Structures are given as C-alpha cells and as structure tokens.
C-alpha cells in the first residue's frame, strides 16, 4: 500500500510538485473538473432547493476509475487543487465521487509551487471549505439558469442556435453601447496653433523651442486673424516656472492588470495571457495567477530588495506594502510575482519568457524608489495679442523605478516617456525669434472602441465577473459571433494648415489617415440585435448594478454570510415568470430597418437578420394583395444593419452580374452564404479578398477558374475505373479517401499513392462508425 496520494488538476503541476515531495508520495492529475451539471433536463432539481445534478463527463470516466483504485490503495489522500473557489469545488467533487474517507483525506493549498510552500502546506492541512464550494456552485447554477431559460427565448424570438449568458451578455452590452456612441458621434473641428521659436542653449548656440497657444480657434477665419497679428509681433518669455515632480511605480500584478499589460506590451489576447501564466505557475516559476490581491509576502519583499540592491544599489530601494481595495473573498494571498526574484529570466517558450520578464520587472519596480523629475513650464507672450504660448518639458533627475519598468496605458496616442522634451535655459523677459507658427485643423476624437485589455478594465471597474471569468467571458462572446476582434483600415481625411513663415501667411490642404483600428472589439449585427432584445425584455440581467450585486452575493456566500439556495430562489422565482411572459407576449425581433423605396420599382428596401446573417430585402413579404416574392441580397463585409444607406443596399441587387462566356458557357458573379463567388458550368469558385464582385471582369474570373481547376487536379491522388465513387484525395489535413460523400482518414504509415482498391475498401470497412452532429452514433 502506498503511503500518500496527491491529486492536482494538471499533469504539469503534478510533475513540478513530485520533484519536491520525493519518496512516499504519488502525485497524479484529475485533469480539471471530473464532473459537471447534466446537459439534459436543465441539470438542476428545481423542486429540491435547486440541487445540482452532477454527472461524470465521458472523457473523465477512465480517469475516475484510475483515481478510485489509487485512492483505495493510499493511506492518506491529499487534495491539492488550486486555492480559489474553482479549485475548492474540484477538491469537493473528488471527495464525493471517489467516496474518500474524511479521516484519511486532507486538503492543502499553496499559492506558489516551491519546495517550501509545498512542505508548509503539508504541515498545515485543512478540511474542504464548504462556503467556497457553495459560492462556486451558486455561480454555476445561476449561470445555468440564465443560459437555459433565456437561450430558448432567443431561438423563438430572434434566430435559432443563439445563446445568452449572465456575464457575457453584459460584456456584449458594453461593446454595443460603445459602437452606438461612435455611430452617433458628430465630430467638431477647430484650429490648434503651435509655434516654433529660437532661444539659446547653455553654450549660446541656437536652440529650438516648441510651444502651443493657450486658445483654440473655432474657424479658419479666426486663425487667419491671429496669424495676421503675429506678423508684426515680438515674442518674449513672460514666465519660467520650475517645479520638482515625481512618479511612483504601479503595484504588482493582479489577474486583471496582468491581462491588460500583456495586451498592451506583448500584444497577447486575454486568453493567451492566462494560458501562458498557467504554464508558468504549474512549472513553479510564478505565484498563482488568479488573484485580486496586490499584496507581497515579507519574504518576497526581502528577496526583491536584495535583487534591486545587487543590480542598482541601495538608493533605488523603497519598500512598499500594497493592499487591495476589493473585499477579496476570492483573492489569493499574494499578487502575481516570480517565485524566485533571483531569476531574471526562465527557460520555456518565447511567450513564457516574455510574460515572465514582464512579471519580474513589474514586481521589481513596485519596490523601487520614485522617479524624481524637474518639470519646467514656460509662458511666451505675444506683443500684439492677449493670447500666450506655453511650453512644458521634463528632465529626469533620478530615474528610480523607470530604470526597470513603466506602466502602459490605453491612450490611443500611446505613452510619452518622461524627459522627452528638453527646455533650453530661459529667464523672464528673454526675447525669442519666431521661425514659424502653424494653425492646424484638428477634429474631436470619437470614443475609442474596446480592446480586450480595456474591456477587462471596464468589467473590473463595474464589479462584473472575477479574475477567473474575464478570459472565458471574452473568448465566449467571440465564439458566439456576437463580437469580432479585428483590424480595420482608416479613412483618408483632408485638413487645412495655415502657416506664418518669413512674415508671409500661406495655406495648404493636407491628407491623413484617420480611424484605423488594430485588434479592437466590434459588435456583429446579430450581437446588436440580441443585445437590443435582451435589453428590452430582460432588463434585470442586463443591468450593470445587478450583475455586480450578484458578484457581491457570491462573496457573501464564500464568507458564510449568505445561504446559496436562498440567493438562487430569490432570483429564480420572479425571473422564471418574466421568461414565460416574454415567450407569450413579446414580438419577434430581426433588427429590421426600413431604408426607403427603390426609385425604379417603388418597392420597399429594408435590412434585417436573415437565416444566414444580415441581408437586404427588396419588396415586402407576400400577402393577399401582393403575391410577388421579395428579393434578398447578403450584406457585404464592412456593411452593417445600423449604418448601411439606401444607395448601398440597392447596389447589392446588381448581383448576380453576367460577365460573359468562357468555353461557350456563361460566367456570373454573385455573393452567397460564404462570400462572393464566380459560377461557371454549375461549378463555384470563391473570389479572393482583393476581388470586388461589383467590379471584377471576365479575364480575372477565367484566371480564378483555371487556378481552382489546377488546385483540384493536384488534390486527386488516385481514382479507380471500377469504383468511380471512390477517390483518394489530398486534403488540408493530409491524404484521405472519399467514398459516396463520406471521408475516411488514411493511417499515417500508409502511402496514399500506393493504395489499391482493396486497401481502400479495407480502410473504409474498419473505420469508426460515423457520428451525427450531436455526437451520437447513427443507428
């Protein structure tokens, strides 16, 4: 009989822990949750106080069998899943499913995988915390209720196969509301005046000084008038003010701030950040990566201090103790930090090394001295006008934490590091020589769209979700096609520049690209329609305050201050009645928008969500007075229900276009469910992204047809005259057999080009029975 069995969530974590425990301990993995709510019949017993109906997931049955055998043979079972609510629930499920004897079962937790932490945990075991388990169960049950009750309403009232989620739907709301702010935004214009002057530096050499006027002009006429005054003006220093300033470092990372900084600095998605951080944690390189805490242990502070002193000297050290503002019922003991501050770098993938370096630098900077700056503000008077120019600059006197790390922001213009503008030595009444003054037309900026990082920040500010929910929430809304993350090109815009140089005023019109987007979150048409339907009919679950209140109630359950079943019941009773009322009384919603009438036919033109996505409709649905069927056309990429114009919609009905003939057969171009395509000889060829279906010509269409034919020829490895329905093909994932509209995988060791007909039939006969879409075997 083995002495000790330690069960953790992942093989990587098991491997790391096993190194520290030595003989007498067997460390194994349960591969995450071993059971979940039933997918049929709601998975919750509403009649029995909302008790969850758990089942072992099919992929975990063998793992459970193996764990039962190992647990039966062990003297002591140590449940070492993560220390948050999710980890506590995993430990509880293991205890229940494996039927572990409480006398020989111990729960241990640690927030870093080091020898000291593991030994300390084993010396201080505890029992499973039922309050944490109940908080996780409450979240799971509430989310199941919302999803299973609201999703069928969307199927009937909006479109089949849609779904709703308590946190996800609120996240979509934020993105939709921001998009509408942008759609309705009216840009204002003004003229920003900047001047370039010559002063003298410390050695008496000419030094350039750039300054901005303290007033913006609404019109070009006003800008011209001011520049006219400056033609005969004298410019002198009215005031020079020097002030000491300082900058302090940001606290160590929490889950949220790590996700934000990794997005800004490393261009990681939120899900990618959590995946890489998980690997770093499981290999013992960083502390637990799901935390609200900014606290550092005394040991961490001391080792950080030693490292700063070693690398930069004692004058760079400033010990800081950070504390979290949140209640922190779910927070781990510490912020995210390296387990060993002496390790500046670690082995692993390039992503792991980059993320580790970010965490190490942030932790180091948090215990370093403030940066000391000298900030200079200069005021320049104009002899012929009351307005003044102002210039400011910073000089770093002592770099402090900036030597290691500077926090990024979500500012569209990026960060301007300290010390970028150097002000030459000046004193009051010094005369300056003006070299140029520019009045440049500027435009007010629309609100910025959310990035994944800024959405996480907003969710955290509103109290929506917890560290463990941000990544899956953002992934889910993209997988459901309610939101897309993409780059979009900007538009060219003209702007005027009025310049005063050498005593003469001139004007130029320049161009710039504006509105370019990089990895921003955009709502899809279906996302906006679903959001509007939920806002109209389920105001409670879409309310930010309600969602934040629910999170607080989960915290109360985790603290033992609230009974989870009572919390669920308080929500469910009125909510279920609301669902039934919406099913009975609400109208169907397709996001329909009437654009006007077609000038040629007088028929109504509208846009709405169709079976396969957003479509334009020419004509109305058939009725007793009108039996003519309407025409439909899919919206093009970049067109949206809320912004498409009547002219744009009418343009869509120009398709299909007849391009001419090739090989005595007609060639047409159109847009279908999967995008624009060419049709020739009853075969279909997709257009490339560069081709426009409204402008593509016959020559280009023929080129695409021939390219597709060549590709198809190369795809065929082998055919058989005696069995024309059977073909050996080369596919995206390698060679395969196609037979009677079904595909069969060819074993890796088999050479496809050497297969005989008998070989192919044998592979087909031995292939697993095909499955339906729902995963059940066909009868």
Q: What is the 3-state secondary structure (H, E, C) of 679-721?
A: EECCEEEECCCCCCCCCCCHHHHHHHHHHHHHHHHHHEEEECC
Distance (Å, rounded) from C-alpha 423 to C-alpha 259?
37
Distance (Å, rounded) from C-alpha 39 to C-alpha 44?
10
DSSP SS3 for 512 = strand
**Contact status, residue 487 vs residue 518, Cβ threshold 8 Å:** yes
Query: Ramachandran region of residue 289, left (φ > 0), alpha (ψ -120 to 50) or beta?
Result: alpha
Q: Tell me how many degrees the CA angle 542-543-544 measures, rounded to the nearest 5.
A: 115
DSSP-derived secondary structure letter, 768: P
Q: Tell me how many degrees the CA angle 672-675-677 measures, rounded to the nearest 5.
A: 75
Distance (Å, rounded) from C-alpha 326 to C-alpha 676?
51
**Contact status, residue 669 vs residue 655, Cβ threshold 8 Å:** yes
Q: CB-side exposure of 622: number of CA atoms within 13 Å?
A: 5
Which stretches within 24-108 are classed as H helix? 61-73, 85-97
Distance (Å, rounded) from C-alpha 418 to C-alpha 678?
57
DSSP SS3 for 451 = coil
**Contact status, residue 241 vs residue 377, Cβ threshold 8 Å:** yes
**Contact status, residue 370 vs residue 320, Cβ threshold 8 Å:** no
How far, CA to CA in Å, does 245 sit from each of 367, 424, 600? 19, 18, 69
Burial class (CB in 10 A: 0-12, 13-18, 19+), 77: buried
Per-position DSSP letters for 487-506, written without gaps between them: EE--EEEEEEEEEEETTEEE
Element (DSSP H or E) covering residue 75: strand 74-79
Per-position DSSP letters for 195-229, written without gaps between them: EEEEEE-TTS-EEEEEEEES--BSSHHHHHHHHHH
Distance (Å, rounded) from C-alpha 393 to C-alpha 363?
29
**Contact status, residue 357 vs residue 340, Cβ threshold 8 Å:** no
Q: 738: which strand partners?
A: 727, 743
DSSP SS3 for 311 = helix
**Contact status, residue 595 vs residue 607, Cβ threshold 8 Å:** yes
Specify whether 288 is catalytic: yes
Distance (Å, rounded) from C-alpha 506 to C-alpha 524?
46
Which stretches within 344-400 are classed as H helix? 350-366
Tell me which residue has tokens 């069927």. 629
Q: Which of 25, 50, 54, 288 is catalytic?
A: 288
**Contact status, residue 717 vs residue 753, Cβ threshold 8 Å:** yes
Distance (Å, rounded) from C-alpha 402 to C-alpha 392?
20
DSSP SS3 for 534 = helix
**Contact status, residue 453 vs residue 470, Cβ threshold 8 Å:** no
List residues with catalytic annotation: 288
């Amino acid at each position: 009989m083995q002495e000790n069995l330690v069960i953790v969530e992942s093989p990587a974590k098991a491997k790391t822990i096993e190194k520290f425990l030595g003989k007498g301990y067997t460390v194994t993995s349960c591969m995450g949750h071993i059971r979940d709510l039933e997918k049929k019949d709601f998975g919750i017993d509403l009649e029995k106080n909302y008790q969850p109906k758990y089942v072992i997931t099919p992929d975990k049955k063998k793992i459970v069998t193996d764990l039962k055998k190992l647990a039966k043979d062990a003297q002591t079972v140590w449940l070492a899943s993560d220390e948050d609510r999710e980890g506590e629930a995993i430990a509880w499920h293991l205890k229940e499913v494996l039927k572990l004897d409480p006398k020989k079962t111990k729960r241990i937790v640690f927030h870093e995988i080091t020898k000291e932490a593991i030994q300390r945990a084993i010396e201080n075991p505890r029992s499973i915390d039922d309050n944490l388990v109940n908080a996780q169960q409450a979240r799971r049950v509430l989310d199941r209720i919302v999803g299973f009750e609201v999703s069928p309403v969307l199927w009937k009232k909006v479109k089949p196969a849609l779904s709703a989620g308590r946190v996800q739907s609120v996240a979509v709301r934020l993105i939709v509301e921001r998009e509408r702010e942008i759609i309705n935004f009216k840009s204002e214009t003004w003229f920003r005046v900047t001047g370039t002057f010559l002063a003298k530096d410390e050695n008496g050499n000419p030094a350039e000084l750039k300054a901005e006027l303290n007033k913006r002009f609404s019109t070009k006429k006003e800008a011209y008038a001011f520049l006219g005054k400056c033609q005969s003006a004298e410019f002198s220093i009215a005031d020079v003010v020097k002030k000491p300033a300082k900058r302090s470092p940001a606290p160590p990372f929490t889950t949220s701030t790590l996700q934000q900084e990794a997005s800004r600095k490393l261009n990681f998605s939120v899900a990618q950040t959590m995946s890489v951080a998980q690997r770093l944690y499981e290999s013992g390189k960083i502390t637990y990566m799901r935390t609200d805490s900014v606290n550092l242990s005394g040991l961490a502070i001391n080792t950080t201090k030693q490292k700063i002193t070693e690398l930069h000297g004692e004058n760079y050290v400033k010990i800081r103790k950070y504390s979290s503002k949140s209640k922190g019922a779910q927070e781990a003991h510490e912020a995210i930090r390296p387990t060993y501050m002496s390790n500046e770098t670690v082995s692993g993938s390039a992503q792991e090394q980059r993320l580790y370096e970010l965490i190490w630098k942030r932790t180091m900077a948090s215990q370093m001295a403030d940066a000391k700056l000298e900030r200079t503000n200069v005021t320049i008077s104009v002899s012929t006008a009351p307005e003044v120019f102002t210039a400011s600059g910073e000089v770093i006197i002592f770099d402090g934490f900036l030597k290691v790390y500077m926090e990024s922001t979500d500012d569209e213009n990026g960060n301007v590091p300290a010390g970028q503008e150097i002000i030459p030595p000046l004193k009051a009444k010094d005369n300056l020589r003006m070299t140029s003054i520019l009045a440049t037309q500027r435009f007010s900026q629309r609100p910025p769209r959310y990035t994944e990082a800024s959405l996480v920040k907003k969710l955290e500010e509103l109290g929506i979700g917890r560290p463990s929910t941000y990544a899956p929430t953002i992934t889910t809304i993209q997988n459901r096609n309610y939101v897309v993350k993409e780059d979009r090109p900007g538009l060219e815009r003209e702007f005027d520049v009025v310049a005063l140089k050498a005593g003469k005023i001139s004007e130029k019109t320049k161009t710039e690209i504006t509105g370019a987007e990089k990895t921003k979150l955009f709502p899809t048409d279906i996302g906006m329609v679903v959001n509007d339907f939920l806002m109209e009919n389920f105001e409670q679950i879409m309310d930010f305050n309600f969602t934040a209140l629910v999170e607080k109630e989960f915290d109360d359950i985790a603290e033992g201050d609230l009974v989870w079943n009572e919390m669920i019941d308080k929500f469910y009773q009125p909510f279920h009645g609301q669902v039934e009322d919406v099913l009975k009384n609400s109208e169907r919603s397709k996001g329909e928008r009437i654009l006007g009438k077609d000038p040629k036919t007088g028929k109504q033109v509208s846009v709405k969500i169709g079976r396969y996505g957003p479509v334009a409709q020419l004509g109305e649905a058939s009725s007793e007075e009108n039996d003519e069927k309407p025409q439909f056309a899919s919206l093009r990429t970049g067109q949206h229900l809320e912004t498409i114009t009547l002219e744009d919609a009418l343009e869509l009905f120009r398709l299909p276009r007849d391009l001419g003939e090739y090989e005595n057969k007609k060639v047409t171009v159109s847009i279908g469910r999967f995008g624009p395509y060419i049709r020739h000889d009853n075969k279909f060829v997709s257009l490339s992204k560069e081709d426009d279906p409204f402008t593509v010509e016959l020559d280009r269409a023929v080129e695409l047809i021939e390219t597709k034919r060549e590709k198809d020829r190369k795809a065929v490895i082998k055919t058989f005259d005696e069995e024309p329905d059977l073909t050996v093909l080369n596919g995206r994932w390698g060679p395969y057999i196609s037979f009677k509209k079904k595909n069969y995988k060819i074993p890796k060791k088999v050479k496809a080009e050497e297969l005989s007909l008998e070989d192919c039939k044998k592979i087909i006969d031995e292939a697993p029975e095909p499955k339906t879409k729902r995963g059940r075997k066909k009868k």
